[in-house]
Chains A and B, each alone.
Chain A
Amino acid sequence: MYTYSAEDRQLLTERVAQFRGQTDRFLSGELSEEQFRPLRLQNGLYIQRQAPMLRIAIPYGLMSSTQLRRVADITRRYDRGYAHISTRQNIQLNWPALEHVPDILRDLAEVDLHCIQTSGNCIRNTTTDALAGVAVDELIDPRPYCELIRQWSTLHPEFAFLPRKFKIAVCGSDRDRAAIYSHDVGIALVRNDDGEIGAKVIVGGGLGRTPIIGQEIEAFVPIAELLNYLESVLRVYNLLGRRDNKYKARIKILVKAMGVEAFRDAVHAEWSTLKGDGNLITAQQLDAVSAHFSPMPYQEISAEAADAALTAQTSPLFQRWLDTNTSAHQQCGYRAVTISLKTPGQAPGDITAEQMDALADLADTFSFGELRNTHEQNIVLADVAIASLYPLWQALQRVNLATANIGHLTDMITCPGGDFCSLANARSLPVAEAIAQRFDDLDYLYDLGPIELNISGCMNACGHHHIGHIGILGVDKKGEEFFQVSLGGSQSAPARIGQILGPSFKAENIPGVIADLLQVYLEQRQEGERFIDTCHRIGIEPFKDSVYGPHRSQSKSLDAAA
């Protein structure tokens, strides 16, 4: 992974000192709340319902065991002994005290971590495929490009006070695992006919109140020009994006208002002033950054030896975990392991300090000391030798991290919701827990096959409900919590916004409603057809009928609000 240079560390030290000074000025009254707000937000600090929330940047989700151990340590010393993995591959602390934040930043900086630009109206953490560098369908390893974007976007003098937040995602694989069509800018790394690397650029995607699938603005930007191109997009947005209404301020609204062609023309006008100058990526720079992401020192393992190691283990539980939680690897004899943070009884994406320490140790023992946060709020050990899978699984069981549900219904994306977040209309965590309890029969889950269920506590859509195969959205109706259900959303191939099923439900009815939807699928699916494909083939009506129609199950009293 990328290792910090002396200059990177110098910048971080200066940033920590800057924020300490800003906090002191706020606490002494020299800075007003209004003046301090953007400064603290650019350091990842929200003032929340219960306490401040501090979001630690994990650049493109990649971290070392040393860094994770430090986070565990910080949660014990300054927080309540757990952390939360966010949908943008960052780590959130829910209970730090404002006056401790400068010290937390100092402790983070000691292991090259920080909270720079994890919130506020600026360029946020760049996200990517959690299987970058190991996925078998990968065309181009996105990590060096993510790192170049990280550097370019960090403390960029022109873009620290944008109309609204700005999120960039990069993917380099056949299948999009980074949801690039749901970001302000999505980048697909591609090769042209001459084999040169470039970027297909998607612009104006986003979820929130106005979900929009991004549009392709450029089929091929030569990779040397990537940062100049991004700078041009950002400048057009910074100058022309709306600032009168924060709900209309994202780039998606601007692109829609201008039309993608006019937006492209404006970007090209800026690009013409920057081309070849500014932040041109030289071959030398690219080589230097890429060297940080060279393949791990893998052992040579034959396919026969790997097979033998696996067939030796006959535990059905292990086999199940192997099927659901591990994926194929570019290196023969290795697999990538996804550790589920979706265990009943624990909030989705939450991880305790003890679990963090355990995972850090397991990463050291089995996966070259590196870990990745996924945007589905799980953690990946990307480079595990097949013979190590069984001992790894046993160790994970001991810390309650061996839940075998990756890609299945209970592997839900869920925002922290009304229990923590001051924006939320409804508490998403109890709904997630009720779903986890109701659908704890693994045989049933496996029979259902892959299903993505996403829950957001409000229309800001931090739980990405719009692109869940099943999406659940918390809404407020006259002070009461209700949940709206949508169907058919998809984060990739092709990205789609789900359709709203109909009137919303009380929390206690949600597991029953989902059971009905699943029953329709089980009755109607064709051989080998996934839930999402059945949804798209038969449309929303049969599902509506099952939930709202005259034949709906009598036991379920639907308090559907009009």
Chain B
Amino acid sequence: MARIVRSQSHSTLPPEHAFASAVAVPLADWHAKGDTRLPLLLTVSDSAEALPTDLSRIPLIVFESADFNDGRLFSIGRALRQAGFSGELRVSGDFLPDQLQYLSRCGFDSFEVPDTWAESDIEQQLNWFSVTYQSTPAALEGARVE
């Protein structure tokens, strides 16, 4: 199931949402702290070479999108899943409801959305297309929202 996180209302979240985006640690700090169980915050400017080599103990990676037109996060999501990341992969920041299904097909399973987005619209967008032409890489099978 997709996890919907409300930008403005973390307090109402059930306990399994304990890792809110706000506590995710930027990549440089994350390396400095040396704790592989800390949630990680990524942006498009983080280089692939600087990513942790062991992703297995990270519970949550939050990808902060600065511009919905910047499609790098789709490839980064897939690459993280293919590199073996099986924790929660969340997108926050600037993205469109119309991108939700693509994001979920690229390995994102958690979405930090504005309060103005209705639950029913999110569900509809996540499942808009019932037909897809591309096969899903094995690494993403478990992460698929649909």
Contact = CB atoms under 8 A, between A and B. Distances in A.
B105 A157 contact: yes
B133 A151 contact: yes
Contacts of A14: 128-131
Contacts of B52: none
B30 interface: no
8 contacts: A10-B130, A14-B131, A155-B129, A155-B132, A156-B133, A160-B71, A239-B79, A278-B137
Contacts of A35: 68, 96
Interface string A155-173: 1111111110000000000
Contacts of B133: 11, 151-152, 154-156
B38 to A, nearest CB: 25
Given A14-B128, A22-B98, A155-B132, A162 B71 contact: yes
B70 to A, nearest CB: 6
B138 interface: yes
Interface string B75-104: 110110010000000000000101101110
B106 interface: yes
The 4 closest A-B pairs by CB, nearest first: A161-B71, A157-B105, A157-B102, A11-B131
A7 interface: yes
Contacts of B101: 157
B8 interface: no
Given A151-B133, A279-B134, A243 B70 contact: yes
Given A14-B128, A157-B101, A160-B71, 5 more contacts: A39-B96, A157-B102, A161-B70, A163-B71, A239-B75
B69 to A, nearest CB: 6
B75 A238 contact: yes
Interface string A320-345: 00000000000000000000000000
Contacts of B48: 239
A48 interface: no
Interface of A: 7-8, 10-11, 14-15, 18, 22, 35, 38-39, 121, 151-152, 154-163, 235, 238-239, 243, 273-274, 277-280
Contacts of A151: 133
Nearest to A153: B133
Contacts, number: 85
A273 B138 CA distance: 11
A159 B98 contact: no
Contacts of A277: 137-138
Contacts of A10: 130-131
Contacts of B78: 158, 235
Nearest to A151: B133
Given A157-B102, A157-B106, A38 B74 contact: no
Contacts of B68: 35, 161
A7 B131 CA distance: 6
B135 interface: yes
A279 B98 CA distance: 24
Nearest to B74: A158
A38 B103 CA distance: 16
A65 B83 CA distance: 48
Contacts of B71: 121, 158-163, 238
B10 interface: no
Interface string B59-78: 00000000011111011101
A163 B70 CA distance: 7
A277 B48 CA distance: 22
Contacts of B102: 157-158, 160
Given A22-B98, A38-B69, A39-B98, A161 B134 contact: no
Contacts of A158: 71, 74-75, 78, 102, 105-106
B9 to A, nearest CB: 21
B72 A156 contact: no
Nearest to B95: A161
A238 B137 contact: no
A35 B133 CA distance: 26
By CB atoms of chain B within 10 A, which of A8, A22, A277 has the most?
A277
B134 A274 contact: no
A279 B135 contact: yes
A7 B31 CA distance: 47
A273 B69 contact: no
Nearest to B82: A273
Nearest to A22: B98
B134 A152 contact: yes
B116 to A, nearest CB: 10
Nearest to B70: A243
A238 B131 contact: no
Contacts of A39: 96, 98
A162 B71 CA distance: 6
A156 B135 CA distance: 10
B131 A156 contact: no
Nearest to B94: A35
B59 to A, nearest CB: 24
A14 B99 CA distance: 15
A161 B137 contact: no
A152 B74 CA distance: 16
A156 B134 CA distance: 7
A278 B78 CA distance: 12
B90 to A, nearest CB: 17
A50 B4 CA distance: 43
B131 A157 contact: no
Nearest to A35: B96
Contacts of B79: 235, 239
Nearest to A9: B131
Contacts of B82: 273
A443 to B, nearest CB: 52
Nearest to A14: B129
Nearest to A156: B134
B145 to A, nearest CB: 12
A494 to B, nearest CB: 34
Contacts of A15: 129
Nearest to A269: B48
A151 B133 CA distance: 6
Given A35-B96, A38-B69, A235-B79, A157 B74 contact: yes
Nearest to A163: B71
By CB atoms of chain A within 10 A, which of B74, B79, B130 has the most?
B74
